[in-house]
């Protein structure tokens, strides 16, 4: 179901949209990102940017900036990476986004929580911050209701 949720969200995202992902190790953040980027039709290999901090994938719609903020100490260190222009022209998906949340005014925040004793099951909680993100969340909720209920 995580792959389907990622693909549904991908259909709504565009340049300048930011999605912050939060959850423990192996919670499904990279899995989610892989399916989101694949839904946007890419030829690129999608992998966790744990060591590189940022990967950029080319898709049919626009580039996707995939950041792993685990090793960043905060928003200032994130700004020092110089990714502002890329953020404006790409869809940004940031794992461990809670570490740098202060860097953004508008974003979707998705929290991944493993379900105890249900191997591979996850609860995804989605919240919106900022006007554009609230519109995205409303569209996403309508899409989810049509597709899964």
Q: Which residue has the higher pLDDT, 20 or 50?
A: 20
- Kindly tell me if the per-residue pLDDT of 139 is higher than 90: yes
Nearest to 34 by CA among 45, 25, 26: 45
User: Region 55-76: what's the mean pLDDT?
Assistant: 94
Q: Residue 148 has what pLDDT?
A: 66
Report the helix count and the strand count for the chain, using DSSP H and E: 5, 6
DSSP string, 19-58: EEEE-STTSSHHHHHHHHHHHT-B-S-----TTTSEEEE-
Class of the CATH domain delimited by 2-144: alpha beta
pLDDT-derived band at 26, boundaries 50, 70, 90: confident
Interval 94-107: pLDDT, tens: 999 999 999 999 99
- 83: enclosing H helix or E strand: none
Strand 107-114 to 18-22 pairing: parallel
Q: At what angle do helices 2-10 and 29-39 cross, to 10 degrees?
A: 50
Average pLDDT value over all residues in the chain:
92
Q: Global pTM?
A: 0.93
């Amino acid at each position: 179901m995580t792959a389907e949720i990622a693909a549904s969200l991908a259909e709504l995202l565009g340049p300048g949209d930011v999605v912050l992902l939060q959850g423990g190790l192996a919670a499904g953040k990279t899995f989610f990102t892989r399916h989101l980027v694949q839904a946007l039709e890419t030829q690129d290999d999608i992998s966790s940017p744990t060591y590189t901090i940022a990967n950029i994938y080319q898709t049919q719609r626009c580039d996707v900036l995939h950041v792993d903020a685990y090793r960043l100490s905060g928003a200032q260190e994130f700004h020092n990476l110089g990714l502002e222009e890329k953020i404006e022209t790409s869809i940004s998906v940031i794992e461990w986004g809670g570490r740098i949340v202060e860097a953004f005014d508008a974003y979707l925040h998705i929290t991944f929580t493993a379900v105890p004793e249900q191997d591979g099951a996850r609860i995804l909680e989605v919240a919106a911050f900022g006007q554009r993100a609230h519109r995205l969340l409303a569209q996403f909720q309508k899409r989810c209701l049509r597709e899964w209920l």
